[in-house]
Amino acid sequence: MTELLVFFNSSLFIALTTIIVGAFAFLLYLQQKGDHKRDAASLILQEIRYAEKLIRNSSGNEYRFSLSFKLLPTNSWNDNVHLFINDLEQTELDLISGFYSQATYLDFLINKISDYKNSTHKPQIVVGLPQAISVQPAGALSIPQQVIHFDPMGTTQLLIKNVCEGVEYVYNTATGEKLKKLSKKKLLFFL
């Protein structure tokens, strides 16, 4: 019994305890880091799937989107891209970054259309019609003017169509499959 008390009070016991606690803390850190990476991959996959679904569904409507939806309500890729640098090839990282960039731009364009439709003051352009020039009795020329409502939606809608047609989808590609595997990968240090 006294030998046991001597061991518990010894430097060796304190050193072993410190090593065991340190190793446990390090394994716990690795477990949490792996969980964070797995959760980020799952969230990124969900965002990609949702945005792709909205783009595909809008193609039958000439790429008209509901103004109440955002393709990317959150952008987890920008916050977590660093987690996947060692797991994905450069071209795969570029594919996902490009997809997020295009979806973010589409959200910007959709927001501009929403702002325009909700605006109470629509911009106007006043143009003269030279083919309808008439001479007034006092010898002055009168050029009738026509008010044309500036419609940026036509230009914006064309941009939306062009971007949508150029989108490279990710979810059902080899890159998407890698993300799916990463989203299911668990480190099992502890049971």
pLDDT tens per residue, the chain (191 residues)? 778 777 778 888 888 889 998 988 888 887 778 788 899 999 999 999 999 999 998 877 678 888 878 999 999 999 999 999 999 999 999 999 999 999 999 999 888 888 877 877 665 544 444 454 444 555 555 555 555 455 556 777 888 888 999 999 999 999 999 999 988 876 555 44
| Predicted local distance difference test score (pLDDT) of residue 88 | 94
* CA gap 105, 97 in Å, rounded: 12
| Crossing angle of helices 11-59 and 174-184, rounded to 10° | 140
φ, ψ for residue 39, nearest 5 deg: -65, -40
Q: Determine if residue 135 is left, alpha or beta; phi over 0 gives left, psi from -120 to 50 gives alpha, anything else beta.
A: beta
Q: Which helix (H) or strand (E) holds 125?
A: strand 124-128
- Residue 76 neighbours by CB distance under 10 Å: 19
| Predicted local distance difference test score (pLDDT) of residue 128 | 46
Q: Which amino acid is at 169?
A: Y
* CA gap 105, 100 in Å, rounded: 8
- Can you give the residue ranges of every domain in the chain? 2-122+147-184
| Tokens representing residue 60 in the block | 């039958």
Model confidence pLDDT, tens digit, residues 57-94: 887 767 888 887 899 999 999 999 999 999 999 999 99
| Tokens representing residue 23 in the block | 């190793």
SS3 call for 1: coil
Given a contact cutoff of 8 angstroms between Cβ atoms, the answer to whether 109 and 159 are in contact is: yes
Kindly write down the DSSP assignment for every residue of 84-124, as one continuous string.
GTTTS-HHHHHHHHHHHHHHHHHHHHHHHHHHHHH-SS--E
